[in-house]
Amino acid sequence: NAGVMQNPRHLVRRRGQEARLRCSPMKGHSHVYWYRQLPEEGLKFMVYLQKENIIDESGMPKERFSAEFPKEGPSILRIQQVVRGDSAAYFCASSPLGRMGGAAAKNIQYFGAGTRLSVL
């Protein structure tokens, strides 16, 4: 069972370009979370999605950022018109459907290796 897969691992963009970050959750997991780690800072929650639904986007910047988790395919975090301040490591995590006593009941999230975005 492969872990959470994120790609690309490294992404370089010029100011004003678009960045698309992909996350394939672990097999059987239908909950996806995105976190951002700015240089020398801790991880900050961005958004929580289930298949075809955004559940909590309280950590998403109001402009330029969007996320989706379609019925088929990976979750996508999209950043439009990137600026230098968007340079960070973006981590995705997934967890399974809720069931009593299982990993979901404990809210165990499994993390990917991250995408490191550099904006020139």
Partner 1 sequence: KQEVTQIPAALSVPEGENLVLNCSFTDSAIYNLQWFRQDPGKGLTSLLLIQSSQREQTSGRLNASLDKSSGRSTLYIAASQPGDSATYLCAVTKLGAQKLVFGQGTRLTINP
CA dihedral 21→27→29→43, nearest 10 degrees, is -40
Q: How far is the CB of 80 from partner 1 (least distance, A)?
A: 23
**64 three-class SS:** coil
Q: How far is the CB of 70 from partner 1 (least distance, A)?
A: 20
CA dist 87 and 56 (Å) reads 23
Query: Which structure tokens are listed for 10?
Result: 């490294």
In the bound state with partner 1, the residue whose beta carbon lies nearer, of 17 and 110, is 110
Q: In terms of DSSP bridges, do strands 115-119 and 19-24 run parallel, antiparallel, or are they unpaired? A: unpaired
The contact set with partner 1 (CB under 8 A) reads: 4, 31, 33, 35, 41-45, 48, 55-56, 58-59, 91, 93, 95, 106-114, 116
Q: How far is the CB of 45 from partner 1 (least distance, A)?
A: 4
In the bound state with partner 1, the residue whose beta carbon lies nearer, of 18 and 56, is 56
In the bound state with partner 1, the residue whose beta carbon lies nearer, of 7 and 17, is 7
Q: How far is the CB of 16 from partner 1 (least distance, A)?
A: 27
Query: Which structure tokens are listed for 19?
Result: 């960045």
In the bound state with partner 1, the residue whose beta carbon lies nearer, of 13 and 31, is 31
